[in-house]
């Protein structure tokens, strides 16, 4: 048997060939020729080779069911059971000081590099050099990964010269760049998450809330002081801010993990029946959804796909969270995470055929600006495809 109390033991090609040769001799006689040059031996070896692949697939299926042995996509599908997903690779970002002719416009996409290296960065937005001859703009590494994390004052080379730009330098370290989380890292993080999934902690409550499929974001605060906190929670209480989910699901998830004697405060209250049949009043607060409006101006080339504008919208919505062109709903940013313009630009550049792109952001669809949108702890940004306006320049 391949599967017993000790686990799964795969038969190798040699094991299969030996078993099949023995069986052939049992049927055809001990003098049957099963050598590698005989007709019977060739047939047995062909069959043993294909069967060894089947055994190998069976072994992979067996181990793919366990987080500590699964690999690739199978591991990614198991991680949510531990309350996490794999961290993807990220671009590095930083600030670049440009010195040059006052009032000169340096367009987004201006390319610079680290001294004596092939590590390139590009500006994420237009910048006008001030009257003092200096301008500051955010830059993004061209390549994903930690290669873009570099020390201050090391990005000093201009790749595409401009007569009105004299010099450049990064004022501080560029940061945020990372490789895609390895399988080992993901397994270790999952193990820590699972080990910490107890009860009576804000992390445990949040993890339990995020297990609800319809909950898209959640955060939990606690007030262990002697006065109400800035969110109105009284002393010795917790408050969960939640986006999505039904009232009953949320209340039960909080009740499962909260500590005894601690008040679950909020603006919404639901009675949950405990094991003794007594009602327990559980409170939580609905997250404040901050609608995001975007005006994008893009310059494209011949490689830009016919549905490129929809692809840009989809990339932005997957980052921020909200309702996509095809009505799919994405979680995106978590509670309290700001909408960073340079991150939006990085997501948009995942669509091929883009030469240049600029963004204007708004929270009311009236007043737009080329700046980040700050989100409070109890708030969550949401982006709808209908709120994205894209102007294409060929």
pLDDT tens-place string over residues 287-331: 999 999 999 999 999 889 988 999 999 899 988 988 887 767 777
Looking at residue 89, the DSSP 8-state letter turns out to be P
**Average pLDDT value for the chain:** 87
pLDDT digits (tens, 9 = 90+) for 122-142: 999 999 999 999 999 999 999
Residue 217 forms beta bridges with which residues? Answer: 243
3-state secondary structure of 121: strand
Per-residue pLDDT tens for 103-120?
999 999 999 999 888 899
> pLDDT: is 180 or 236 the higher one?
236
Tell me what pLDDT residue 218 has.
Answer: 85
Element (H, E) at 356: strand 354-362
- Name the residue with higher pLDDT: 392 or 211: 392
Would the pTM count as exceeding 0.85? no
pLDDT tens digits, one per residue of 218-257: 889 999 888 898 888 999 899 999 988 899 999 999 998 8
Confidence label for 339 from pLDDT (cuts 50, 70 and 90): very high
Residue percentage of the chain with pLDDT more than 70: 96
Instruction: Work out the end-to-end distance of the chain between its first and last CA atoms, rounded to an integer number of angstroms.
Output: 65
* Alpha-carbon distance values, 39 to 111, 268, 315, 362 (Å): 66, 78, 58, 76
Say whether pLDDT at 196 is over 50.
no
Q: Is the pLDDT of residue 41 over 60?
A: yes
Domains, in order of start, for the chain: 3-63 (no CATH), 67-87+183-192 (no CATH), 93-170 (2.40.30), 196-286 (3.30.300), 288-393 (no CATH)
Within 10 A of 287 (CB to CB), how many other CB atoms are there?
A: 24
- Overall residue count recorded for the chain in this entry: 394
């Amino acid at each position: 048997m391949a599967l017993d109390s000790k686990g799964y033991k795969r038969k190798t090609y040699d094991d299969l060939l030996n078993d099949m040769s023995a069986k052939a001799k049992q049927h055809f006689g001990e003098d049957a020729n099963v050598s590698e040059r005989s007709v019977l031996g060739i047939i047995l070896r062909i069959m043993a080779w294909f069967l060894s692949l089947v055994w190998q697939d069976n072994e992979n299926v067996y181990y793919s069911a366990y987080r500590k042995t699964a690999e690739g996509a199978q591991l990614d599908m198991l991680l949510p059971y531990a309350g996490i997903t794999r961290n993807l690779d990220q671009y590095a970002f930083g600030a670049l000081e440009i010195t040059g002719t006052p009032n000169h416009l340096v367009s987004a996409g201006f390319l610079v590099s680290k001294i004596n290296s092939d590590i390139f960065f590009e500006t994420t937005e237009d910048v006008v050099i001030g009257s003092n001859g200096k301008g500051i703009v955010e830059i993004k590494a061209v390549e994903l990964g930690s290669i873009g994390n570099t020390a201050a004052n090391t990005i000093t080379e201009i790749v595409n010269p401009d007569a009105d730009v004299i010099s450049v330098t990064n004022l501080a370290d560029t940061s945020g760049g990372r490789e895609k989380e390895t399988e080992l890292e993901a397994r270790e993080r999952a193990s820590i998450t699972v080990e910490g999934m107890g009860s009576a902690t804000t992390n445990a409550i949040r993890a339990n809330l995020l297990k609800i499929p319809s909950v898209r974001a959640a955060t939990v605060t606690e007030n262990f002081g002697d006065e109400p906190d800035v969110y109105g929670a009284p002393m010795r209480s917790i408050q969960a801010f939640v986006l999505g989910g039904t009232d009953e699901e949320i209340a039960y998830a909080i009740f499962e993990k909260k500590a005894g004697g601690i008040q679950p405060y909020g603006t919404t209250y639901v009675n949950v029946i405990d094991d003794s049949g007594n009602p327990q009043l559980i409170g939580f607060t609905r997250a404040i959804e901050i609608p995001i409006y975007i005006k994008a101006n893009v310059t494209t080339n011949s490689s830009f796909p016919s549905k490129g504008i929809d692809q840009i919208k989809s990339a932005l919505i997957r980052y921020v969270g909200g309702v996509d062109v095809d009505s799919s709903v994405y979680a995106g940013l978590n509670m309290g995470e700001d909408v960073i313009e340079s991150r939006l630009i990085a997501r948009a550049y995942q669509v091929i055929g883009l030469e240049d792109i600029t963004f204007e952001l708004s929270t009311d669809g009236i007043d737009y600006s080329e700046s980040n949108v700050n989100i409070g702890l109890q708030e969550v940004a949401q982006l709808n495809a209908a709120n994205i306006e894209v102007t294409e320049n060929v």
